[in-house]
Homo-oligomer: A and B are copies of this chain.
Amino acid sequence: MEQNIIDAALERVRAALETGDVDEAISILATLHPADRAEAFADLPPDDQSEILPRLDAEATADLLEELEDEAAAGVAAQLPAATLADVLDEMEPDEAADVLGDLPPEQAASALAQMEDASEVIPLLAHADDTAGGLMTSDFFALRRQMTAQMAIDFLRTQHPDMETPYYLYVVDRANRLIGIVGMRDLIVTDPQTTIEAIMNHEVQSVPVGTDQEEVARIMSHYDLAALPVVDLDGKLVGVINHDDIVDVIEEEATEDIYRLANVSDGDLQVFSPVKLSVRRRLPWLLVNLGTAFLAASVISLFEATIAKLAVLAVFQSIVAGQGGNAGTQTLAMMVRGLALGEIEFKDAWRAMAREAGIGLIHGMAVGFFVAIGAWLWRGIPVLGLVIGLAMIGNMIAAGIAGTLVPLTLKAFKLDPALASAVIVTTVTDCVGFGLFLGLATLFLPYLQYPGN
């Protein structure tokens, strides 16, 4: 829907720029929602961007940087002179400003910081890693004291914080700034103006320490349906607030990361239209790792080369056994990786999960084994070939269930991402077991597999 609006605006912006009318281009962009404006700007060729950028005031540039993807925002910021950038960063939410500064070359970040007026709000945020609660939070929140009345809180809100970013909850702190309660914006409205905050606040307030991993933050906010989550330091002092929209980004990011890692792409930021060089750098190493494991599987086949030389039909069927094991293992892996990511599977469930998937592997193996046996028999007219491939299929499906559960659980036990490299390992297992079982059984039954006279 909004894509059409953006495309239509883009066409008009380009037309305006072609006639050299930059002001007209800017006023067309100004009609868009800030999120759409940023998307349209990002879609413009670099030359057009450079024409528009110097003509925007600090506030418009700040809006743009807040809405752009991290990488694009850093690119735009890098083009600005230090003094301009400082003004722009002053206009931004502190957490967004910190993100931009974190993505700039250190000298450029330092000189912009030195010229900022509100640097003190941003500097503490720079200390936290991007993917932690500290990296997600904004320091622009609103803390009440419990002795205040509702009316005092409303007056304070009216005079002090006209455009605060976190309008959902208000937090209550004690004398030492330790978080002690939470008040909904609505509770503040509907209560009698003379009621104290103490009387309406909820003492049970969920919070996380600054170092909490963003995936855990997302899980807590999603589990408890929170629009905002306060962040505390080691002393329990309130230092920031994370908003629901940051969490949506985290959830999408983590899901992309899982999908990519299962598909052996090692960078969640990579997109189809990323630079070719970057794409190759992020994908080729995994293909080479896979090549190594493919040679391993090939060496299993080479153990049975003499058998294949006697009976070339084995080469036709070997890939079916290995491939089906890989498919079944990938199914188990996808369910394990997702279950671990969403907190549905714990490490204590390891044995139960493995036994279960091995059992399902047996069932799948018998069913698929039955059909492949019938298929091989009918196709080649060798009943024992059907038996051999059916048995190998059952064995490989069980191996797939075991590897598909144990590999991600083992990675998790070593505090690694369960999705990382697990697809490579599981398919290596199912390839080696599949080729080994099928060709091994075939070697054993070789006298019964050959056509008379072969």
Contacts and interface: CB of A to CB of B under 8 A. Distances in A.
Contact of A185 (B164, B167, B431): B167
Given A294-B324, A346-B3, A271 B356 contact: no
Contacts of A315: 301, 305, 308, 312, 314-315, 318
A150 to B, nearest CB: 10
B359 A284 contact: no
A368 B288 contact: yes
Interface residues of A, number: 117
Copies in the complex: 2
Interface stretch (A81-89, A103-111, A251-259): A251-259
A56 interface: no
B334 A272 contact: no
A4 to B, nearest CB: 11
Contact of A331 (B185, B265, B302): B265
Contacts of A276: 356, 359-360, 363
Nearest to A246: B225
A14 interface: no
Contact of A273 (B184, B356, B427): B356
A288 B371 CA distance: 8
Interface string A138-155: 000000000000000010
Given A342-B252, A363-B280, A294 B323 contact: yes
A47 interface: no
Contact of A284 (B162, B221, B367): B367
Contact of A339 (B188, B272, B368): B272
A444 B331 CA distance: 38
A316 B333 contact: no
A319 B322 contact: yes
A323, A330, A332: which has the most chain B beta carbons within 10 Å? A323
Contacts of A319: 294, 297-298, 301, 318-319, 322, 431, 435
A290 B294 CA distance: 21
A416 interface: no
Contact of A186 (B2, B157, B323): B157
A235 interface: no
Contacts of A190: 154, 157-158, 162
A30 B60 CA distance: 51
A58 interface: no
A248 interface: yes
A224 interface: yes
A225 B38 CA distance: 14
Contacts of A251: 248, 251-252, 255
A92 interface: no
Given A287-B324, A319-B301, A334-B265, A225 B35 contact: yes
A279 B358 CA distance: 13
A83 B270 CA distance: 55
A85 to B, nearest CB: 24
Given A158-B190, A168-B168, A283-B364, 9 more contacts: A33-B224, A157-B186, A188-B189, A256-B342, A272-B344, A272-B353, A276-B363, A308-B312, A319-B431
